[in-house]
Structure formats: C-alpha cells, structure tokens
Amino acid sequence: MASTAAIQSTPDAVPRDRWRFTLGGLFRATTVCGLAMFAVVQFGPLAAARDLGIGLAIVLVIWAWSARSLSLFLAAGLVAVLGCIPTVLAAGAPFSQRSAACLECGMTRDIHEVCGWTTKDEISETEASRWAAPLVPAGHVHAWTVTSNYSRTHWFGSAPIGCGGPGEGAFMAWQLARLGDPAAAEQAYLEYQAILTGRSPKPMAVHRQEVQAAITAAVQAKQ
C-alpha cells in the first residue's frame, strides 16, 4: 500500500517542481521584457518585432541543436518565417528623419519617426551654439528651421531627400566668426535680434541678403 501511495503522489510532485519560482527565472524574464521595451522605444514597434523574432529564432535553434529536437527546429523555422513579416513591413513603412537648426541659439535637433512613433528626438550643441551662447537672450524659445528631411509619407512609396539651411540667426552669424570676422558676426546676430523684437525697421529679407553677401565676401577674401 505504501508503494502504491508513493507512485500516486509522484505525478503531483512533478508539476510543482517544474513550475517552481526561481530568482534566475525572474531575472531572465525581466531582462527579456526590458530588452523588448528598449527596442520598441529606440527602433519602433516593427523593428523591435523583427529583432526579437530573429533573436528568438536563434535561441530556439541553439536549444533544438542541444536537445536534438525536431519540434524545436520546426518552431525555430516558424518563428524565422514570422519574423520576415515585420522585416518586409519595416522596409516599406512610413518614416521621417528630420534635422533642424535653431535660429535663436544655433543648436541642432534630430527627430526620427516610424509609423508616427518617435524613436529619436535629440537636441545637441554645436560650434555655432557655443559661440552664440553669450549673445542669446535669457529664456529664449527655440525657433527650429528644417535643414534636411528624409521621409516616406505612405507605405512602400518613394523616400525623397530634401536639404537646406538657415538664412539668418545664430548659425549664419557664426559663419562670419568662423571666417575670421568676429565683430561682423556679433553685429549680424544683434541686428537679427533687433529685427525680431521690432527695435530695427530693417526687413528680415534685407538682413538675410546682407549677411549672405558678407559671408560670400569673407570666403572670397580667404581664397
């Protein structure tokens, strides 16, 4: 009777051991979830699904090879096939990669979006912003102007590239300082601020032409 009871109790004990909680299992699960969330934030949902599918397929292949399991090999193949779907979608998804410069302070901003999901939005200092820092009014509001735009507006459409640059402000004034005329650079920036605040009656279009002409003359003088 005792042996019969032991045999009957064995199946109940196996599931409890199989599903017991371990710190190692919690750590692995937390790591996988953390990597998945990081991938979604950094690369967008489609790219994250693609990368996670590839990683899971590799893990299943290694597991199947060590266990010599045909079912695991089939599972790895299925995951790899399913991983191709977000790969194809990511290749033709709408996206936008824009770079901009602040007319006020000369900083730059990079914005990347995939399917409306912002994967990057960073503001960086530049040589122009460091030069203009002592002249920029306190508490200024960034005035961004797009300097490059690479985007696809609809699925599997064309992705043209557009480039440009600021015509006035800190970046253009800094060009004069870079070319060896810091006094003219400071004067150009202060005049830009005076036009913005209404302290100068000069039109911004005229100011832009004068600064561009001064930069052209400085470049020619360098040659």
Could you report the per-residue pLDDT of 73-90, keeping only the tens digit for each? 787 777 777 777 777 777
Q: Mean pLDDT of all residues in the chain?
A: 79
Together in a domain, 117 and 180:
yes
For residues 98 and 27, the model is more confident at 98
Q: Is the dihedral of CA 46, 48, 54, 60 positive or negative?
A: negative
Together in a domain, 71 and 128:
no
Together in a domain, 113 and 210:
yes
- Answer with the one of 58, 92, 126 that is the final residue of a domain: 92
Q: Determine the Cα–Cα distance for residues 212 and 217; give it in Å rounded to an integer.
A: 9
- Answer with the one of 75, 92, 109 that is the final residue of a domain: 92
Together in a domain, 122 and 170:
yes
**pLDDT bracket for residue 35 (50, 70, 90):** low
pLDDT > 70 fraction of the chain, expressed in percent and rounded? 75
**pLDDT bracket for residue 1 (50, 70, 90):** very low
User: What residues make up the domain containing 195?
Assistant: 95-222
pTM: predicted TM-score of the whole model, two decimal places: 0.64
Query: Could you read off the pLDDT of 117-161 as tens digits, one per residue?
Result: 888 899 999 999 999 999 998 888 999 999 999 999 888 888 889
Together in a domain, 35 and 129:
no
Together in a domain, 86 and 121:
no
pLDDT value at position 149? 93
Together in a domain, 80 and 133:
no
Q: How far is CA 174 from CA 123, 130, 148, in A?
A: 19, 10, 20
Together in a domain, 110 and 85:
no
Together in a domain, 118 and 213:
yes
Query: Could you read off the pLDDT of 167-200 as tens digits, one per residue?
Result: 888 999 999 999 988 999 999 999 999 998 889 8
Together in a domain, 48 and 127:
no
Q: What is the mean pLDDT of residues 32-54?
A: 61
The domain total for the chain is 2
pLDDT value at position 59? 75
Q: Which residues contact 163 (CB under 8 A, 6 or more apart)?
A: 147, 148, 149
pLDDT > 90 fraction of the chain, expressed in percent and rounded? 37
Together in a domain, 112 and 19:
no
Together in a domain, 212 and 102:
yes
Check: CB of residue 80 under 8 Å from CB of residue 57.
Answer: yes
Q: How far is CA 21 from CA 24, 25, 27, 33, in A?
A: 9, 7, 11, 17
**pLDDT bracket for residue 166 (50, 70, 90):** confident
pLDDT value at position 32? 57
- Answer with the one of 92, 126, 157 that is the final residue of a domain: 92
